[in-house]
Structure 1
Amino acid sequence: MSEQGLSQPVTLKLGSQVTEAHPDGTIILQDGSRYTADIVVGADGLRSVIRDAVLSEDDQAKPVHSSQAAFRFLVDTSTLRSDPTLASLADDNTDRLSLFADTSETIRERHVICGEVQNFVGIHPSLEVGNQEGDDAKAAMMAEFSHYDKKILRLFELAENVKRWPLYIHDPYPTWVKGRIVLVGDAAHPMLPYGGQGAMMAIEDGGILGSLFTNVLPNQIDERLSKYQQLRKNRVSRIQLLSQVRAGRENEVDPRISQYADGSTGC
């Protein structure tokens, strides 16, 4: 890529819903407009539209319910600090993750990632298959956590826009690349949140793509896309399988992990 190309600013087109993608690097938006690029990066998450252009329905194995679900909500750290009951949760704890675990039942865990905003994730046993939100989700959360410390219950009282999502197991996909399309993040490798690795793997994907596609000639694109998958897929597939089990139960997936062992190349 020329220096002039490197200096060109990126144009963001917000509110542009992609309805189709094609291996030649063409995407079609909801309004019918078409764009063609050297590569299309599918970073559109769990319900990826771009993935459908890379994988057939058979290759996208139906996800399996994990028998667990997660409550999610956000609350401003300033709200905690202004509440006498909750202030101690925020004091000197704004740059780390806090875990509130039910020691009588380790399948129940509560995570709060601290910063300017608290992100609460409550993992709990559940066979529900549909999403839930609003007052119904909040009531279910309060009932699920009713035996927790009063500080945690007070935190739940302040929660707004609570959501509950069932957690599904997704096995590794056979490929992330087709033609000029490449998948990254949850579009490529959706995983359960137990290890907190979903976002980490997406960041690594982006780092590798950025490295591989620096100063690239048009005739090198296919080779670099293949290299991206070669470098990333085994590593991420192992982590994806490990994300299906809790700490201490890794032996449950060990036989399957071996098929993604690194060869002479790999990450």
Structure 2
Amino acid sequence: MSNGKEKIAIIGAGLGGTVAGALLQHAGFDVNVYEQAPSFSRLGAGIHMGPNVLKIFERIGIDKKVISISSTPSHWFSRDGITGEYTARVPLVGYGQTYCTVHRGDLQAIQCDALQPGTLHFGKKLARLDDSGTDVLIAFEDGTSVRADIVIGADGINSRVRETLLGEERPNYSGWVGHRALISSDKLKKYDLTFEDCVKWWGPDRHMMVYYTTARRDEYYYVTGVPHPAWEFDSAFVDSSRDEMAASFKGYHPIIQALIDSTDEVTKWPLFNRNPLPLWSKGRLVLLGDACHPMKPHMAQGAAMAIEDAAMLTRCLTETGITDFRSAFGLYEANRRDRATRVQNVSNANTFLLEQEDPAWVYGYDIYAEPLKSETAA
């Protein structure tokens, strides 16, 4: 068990990193979170938080706050992108918690507020890590440095912590891009069409996922998956356009055309992934989320897997104590690798809920109800 004096540094204050920090602090650990961005802003992106995640949010007391600002769809609808025919109507209730679709920025603000005051540090871009065997020196590009007993890399697909463990290696471009746009619901009122709470439109080689991002239902968000031969830009994303969207979805259902016609701003993002990593930890360093098992977003579970990682890592560190961090890291990987890999494979295949199926293995999962299996049993 923790004695309240251990120092843990988390690199990255994304959705996985902030939940890891809050969970570990609730367990009594001394935790600081370091984020390279100078601040967070409400960027235009939505996200799904399933019941499997809301069960974790309960542990840090933010589940009701998240539900209060979210849209809470009763079903996930899958429809043929051209004809509009329903291929699946999947209930999202009955899994022990609420299914939420929410603006990522609004969710992140709640998660950051769950951290103890003064423990989230912005403008801290990682320069290097030096694991001395007795602690870890963390040096930042602003010239400052800190020491920690262990370091958790929650810094995404381009993780600098992962590079320290495994060397530099560019992620693999998947051959797909995602377009993202937020639409004011007022712009949709002129259409004599039904805009459902949570629907995925499927085409032969592309799709569009659409949902509300607020409890007020005043923002409607779409994200696509569209083949794109090569990512020829240096930036993380580029501006797209209504014309490009119209060309990408020519001949698709009138609801899709209405969404495109109502789009003011749309961006285009490359979808990257990595091959499964040979290890998730080394010495005093350990990875979670996209830093160790990035996936295409087609299952809407990428952030959920990072948050589940955070919960399991906290369980394992609480079980062993930080002085036996090696056993904790081994337990963590033994209890997370199979599930994360399964979700990664299904998400990359882009088949989830295309047809009627039972998603209980995803949404009904309760990470706290699962007995810890030993590292040797993995």
Give the distance between the partners of 1:72 and 1:25, measured in 2 at CA. Answer: 39
1:88 and 2:216 equivalent?
A: no
Give the distance between the partners of 1:148 and 1:178, measured in 2 at CA. Answer: 49
Give the distance between the partners of 2:317 and 2:192, measured in 1 at CA. Answer: 47
**Displacement after TM superposition at 1:263 (Å):** 9.1
Q: Secondary structure at the match of 1:194?
A: helix
Give the distance between the partners of 2:172 and 2:5, measured in 1 at CA. Answer: 48
Q: Give runs of aligned pairs for residues 181-196 of structure 1, distance below 5 A.
A: 181-196=285-300
Give the distance between the partners of 1:145 and 1:18, measured in 2 at CA. Answer: 41
Counterpart position of 1:113: 211
Q: Give runs of aligned pairs for residues 2-81 of structure 1, distance below 5 A.
A: 2=3, 6=28, 9=116, 11-23=119-131, 24-57=135-168, 60=169, 63-76=171-184, 78-79=185-186
Q: Secondary structure at the match of 1:50?
A: helix
Counterpart position of 2:269: 165
Q: Give runs of aligned pairs for residues 95-244 of structure 1, distance below 5 A.
A: 97-102=198-203, 105=204, 107-116=205-214, 117-131=219-233, 133-134=238-239, 136-214=240-318, 217-244=321-348
Q: Structure 1 residues 86 and 75, CA, compared in 2 at 3 Å: closer, same or farther?
A: farther
**Displacement after TM superposition at 1:185 (Å):** 0.6
Q: 2:172, 2:272 within 8 Å by CA — same for their partners in 1?
A: yes
Cα deviation 1:175-204 (Å, max 9, x = unaligned): 111111111110111111222231221121
Q: 1:47, 1:187 within 8 Å by CA — same for their partners in 2?
A: yes
Aligned-residue Cα RMSD (Å) equals 3.0
Q: Percent of counterpart pairs with the same letter?
A: 29
Letter of the aligned partner of 1:16 in structure 2?
K
TM-score (ref. length: structure 1)? 0.76
Gaps of 5+ in 2: 7-27, 31-115, 353-373
Q: Structure 1 residues 197 and 156, CA, compared in 2 at 3 Å: closer, same or farther?
A: same
Q: 2:319, 2:328 within 8 Å by CA — same for their partners in 1?
A: no
TM-score (ref. length: structure 2)? 0.56
Letter of the aligned partner of 1:53 in structure 2?
T
Gaps of 5+ in 1: 249-261
Give the distance between the partners of 1:146 and 1:204, measured in 2 at CA. Answer: 39
Counterpart position of 2:377: 265
Q: Structure 1 residues 4 and 247, CA, compared in 2 at 3 Å: closer, same or farther?
A: closer
Q: Structure 1 residues 37 and 172, CA, compared in 2 at 3 Å: closer, same or farther?
A: same
Give the distance between the partners of 1:217 and 1:264, measured in 2 at CA. Answer: 19
Following superposition, which runs of at least 4 residues in structure 1 exceed 6 angstroms of deviation?
A: none
**Displacement after TM superposition at 1:157 (Å):** 3.3
Q: 2:334, 2:375 within 8 Å by CA — same for their partners in 1?
A: no
